[in-house]
Amino acid sequence: MQTAISIRQAVKRYGPITALHGVSMDIADNEFFTLLGPSGCGKTTLLRMLAGFEDVTEGEIHLFGERIASLPPEKRPVNTVFQQYALFPHLTVLENVAFGLKMKGVPLSDRNARAGKMLELVHLSGFADRKPSQLSGGQQQRVALARALAPQPKVLLLDEPLSALDLKLRQAMRVELKLLQEETGITFIFVTHDQEEALAMSDRIAVMSSGQVQQIGTPREIYEAPVNRFVADFIGETNLIEVDVDTVTDGQATVTLPGGHTVVCAAASNNSGRHALSIRPERVAITDHAPDLQATVERVIYLGTDLHLITRLDGGEPFSLRLQNASRVALPEPGARIGLKLEEGAARLLAD
């Protein structure tokens, strides 16, 4: 597959503060790629560097083989959907969508036809003559999308575009965005701090924190095989328990759990010693037969589809479980002692 964007050792410094510490990644053509991380992790800085709003202190960025790090924004075949949409308030919806084409010198009739098609694509054909202020937040969002897609960029950059929408609309837009990406065949680079959003839409995710890439992988890899504590903790919910590693070879480790039982699990590194074990709360079952862990129930939280159990292991560590709310599940009472069985692949030994 062709590489759309290749970032090599990109560094961004603002005076004494370093926002990005030598970030490298390759993004494939026609990929839905997400930069995920908490605020201040450098994801937006990286996106703005791709758009051309921030210059690169050190390092290289290539777009389909061409060096772009020193090009101004108007010379880069990428377009951005801004977090605040930034629709031009004095222009109509159609003029907004046609703006990029106008700047590229496309004749009036052609650009209006193409802008009209884009509005059709985002289901806003009837709104061409309105001003942005006459549209709802969700409609403005779609105009911003149409405007950025109209000049047919090689890469579309999306800076937390769904964050201003309410939950229902956000969920609907996730599906729509993914469909749009598949329909247009354009590489999407999506910035978000919402892990659920990232998991739902992305082909691949780069998890970032404090100016560094922590892990790059498919949603499944990121969730099921996190490499370190940060990724395991940031993506979804997890229980982190300190364990002693008995043996570790070829990514398989034998570890001793609190309470003395040993289990075999996948390991992110080949170092022995004391490490964090990540156990996903939904991969643990309650059992009376040969439990791996013993715990005392502290609280039971009823969530409709799920039951959330907050327990404490005999060693004193907090441990949470999520059980599907099937009719056969008997609700344990707070104070009850329960045995816990780790499902296949529930535990993963982290590198740090």
Partner 1 sequence: MKGVRHYPGFLAVTLLCLLVLYLPLTVVAAYSFNGSTSITTWGGFSLRWYADVFTGPEATRFGQAAWNSLTIAIIASTVSTVIATAAALAMIRSGRFRGKTASYALINLPLLVPEIVIAVATLIFFTTIGLTTGYLTILIAHITFCIPFAYLPIAARLSGIEGHYEQAARDLYASPWQAFRLILLPLLGPGILSGFLLAFIISLDDFIITNFVKGAGMETLPTAIFGSVKQGIKPNIMAISTMMLGVSVLFVSLSYLINRKGRPAR
Contact positions vs partner 1 (CB under 8 A): 51-53, 72-74, 78-80, 82, 84, 86-90, 99-100, 103-104, 131-133, 147-148, 151
Q: Which two tokens stand for residue 54?
A: 């921030």
CB of 86 to partner 1, least distance (A): 4
Burial (Cβ within 10 Å: 0-12, 13-18, ≥19) of residue 96: buried
Do 245 and 341 meet the contact criterion of CB atoms below 8 Å apart?
no
Shortest distance, CB of residue 103 to partner 1, whole angstroms? 4
**Distance in Å, CB of 146 to partner 1, minimum:** 12
Toward partner 1, which CB reaches closer, 51 or 276?
51
Burial class (CB in 10 A: 0-12, 13-18, 19+), 289: exposed
Q: Is 269 left (phi over 0), alpha (psi -120 to 50) or beta?
A: beta
Residue 20 or 115: the one with the smaller Cβ distance to partner 1 is 115
| Shortest reach from residue 43's CB to partner 1, in Å | 17
Helix (H) or strand (E) holding 271: none
- Nearest approach, Cβ of residue 150 and partner 1 (Å): 9
Q: State the residue for tokens 């965005």.
A: 177
The two structure tokens encoding residue 22:
């030598």
Alpha helix ranges (H) inside 104-193: 108-121, 137-149, 167-184
Q: Which is nearer to partner 1, 84 or 256 (CB)?
A: 84
CB-wise, 130 or 283, nearer to partner 1? Answer: 130
Question: What is the nearest approach in angstroms of partner 1 to the Cβ of residue 160?
Answer: 13
- 294 and 340 Cβ atoms separated by less than 8 Å: yes
Angle between helices 108-121 and 93-103 in degrees, nearest 10: 130
Query: What amino acid is encoded at 63 in this protein?
Result: L
Q: Which is nearer to partner 1, 108 or 179 (CB)?
A: 108
Q: Toward partner 1, which CB reaches closer, 42 or 151?
A: 151
Strand arrangement, sheet containing 66-67 = 17-28, 3-14, 58-63, 66-67
Cβ proximity to partner 1, 37 vs 151, nearer residue: 151
Shortest approach of partner 1 to residue 348 CB, angstroms?
A: 41
